[in-house]
Amino acid sequence: MTDSRQKVLIAGGSSGMGLALARRCLDDGAQVTIVGRDAERLARACEQLGRPGLLRALAADISREEQVASLFERAGALDHIACTAADIQGAYALLPDLDMAAAQRAVASKVFGPLYLARHGAARLAPGGSLTFTSGIAAYRPQPRGAVVAAINAALEGLVRALAVELAPLRVNAVSPGWVDTPIWTHVAGDRKDEALQSMARRLPAGRVGRAGDIADAIAFLMANTFTTGTVLHVEGGHRLA
């Protein structure tokens, strides 16, 4: 649980897991800044979340370093930075069909984006602060069409461990979700989204796929637990076992 006096910045906070995290932090009384590329989507998220006294939105593309630097000049002092942003549209494909521009965008959003957030955001964090990034089950259970995303998630987890050492005593962690019912699945499975999620739910020991709130709970734990750093927290319903 975040403290009511704390300030949290959430990259990717306009939808899915990031939006759920923003709602949870606001419920705890924290001051929340949500970040995204799309100003209209940020505005809709602010309408959904309410809390105008505690919430603000800043537009930035975390895959562009100059925008990340500007973001933190506007954001001011912080206690926690979390990132659920990912641009993986077009990155799921068999190698002969892989759009390399889409693959590069995915790498930029999920590897360079967190690197830029750490590079420019660490100095803004208060003592005891944290950075939490989002990996994924693909690093452990890759599938055909998923080579790029598997590599990205594995790279991000290596980055987390290195940053935890370099930025100590700031804490750096990652949450690794399994299959979570969020809008990103429209890009992954298209019209087969519901069928794919239901099929996975039947396989998992937990008996269901994840919800955005499950990941928000995990990130909130990593923010609050001051004895956890350099760790990947798996929230995947037992997918690594099934």
State the pLDDT at residue 51. Answer: 87
Exposed, middle or buried, 145 (CB in 10 Å: 0-12/13-18/19+)? middle
> 3-state DSSP call for residue 14?
coil
> 3-state DSSP call for residue 235?
strand
Question: Mean pLDDT over residues 76-103, rounded?
Answer: 95
For residues 88 and 195, give the distance between their C-alpha atoms in angstroms, rounded to a whole number: 20
State the pLDDT at residue 187. Answer: 63
What is the maximum alpha-carbon separation in the chain?
A: 51
Question: Mean pLDDT over residues 170-196, rounded?
Answer: 85
Convert 38-70 into a string of H (helix), E (strand) and C (coil).
CHHHHHHHHHHHCCCCCEEEEECCCCCHHHHHH
Which tens digit of pLDDT belongs to each residue from 15-53? 999 999 999 999 999 999 999 999 999 999 999 999 889
Query: Is residue 221 scored above 80 in pLDDT?
Result: yes
- Could you tell me what percentage of the chain is helix, strand and coil, using 3-state DSSP and rounding each to the nearest 5? 50, 20, 30
Among candidate residues 44, 48, 43, 47, the one with its CA nearest the CA of residue 58: 43
Lowest mean pLDDT among 15-24, 31-40, 55-64, 188-197: 188-197
Q: Residue 68: what residue type?
A: V
Q: What is the DSSP string of 138-207?
A: GGTS--TT-HHHHHHHHHHHHHHHHHHHHSTTSEEEEEEE-SB-STTHHHHHGGGHHHHHHHHHHHSTTS
Question: Mean pLDDT over residues 76-99, rounded?
Answer: 95
Residue 160 token pair: 């987390």
- Cis status, amide bond into 205, omega within 30 of 0: no
Regarding pTM above 0.75, the answer is: yes
Query: Is residue 10 scored above 60 in pLDDT?
Result: yes
> 3-state DSSP call for residue 126?
strand
The percent of residues above 90 in pLDDT, for the chain, comes to 88
State the pLDDT at residue 22. Answer: 98
State the pLDDT at residue 1. Answer: 53
Q: How confident is the model at residue 194 (pLDDT cuts 50, 70, 90)?
A: confident
How distant, in Å, are the alpha carbons of 7, 25, 74, 108, 141 from that of 144?
40, 37, 42, 22, 10
For residues 179 and 183, give the distance between their C-alpha atoms in angstroms, rounded to a whole number: 12
Residue 92 token pair: 């799921």
Query: Which run of H or of E encompasses 234?
Result: strand 232-235
Q: Which residue has the higher pLDDT, 198 or 4?
A: 198
Residue 211 token pair: 């919800």
Q: How confident is the model at residue 105 (pLDDT cuts 50, 70, 90)?
A: very high
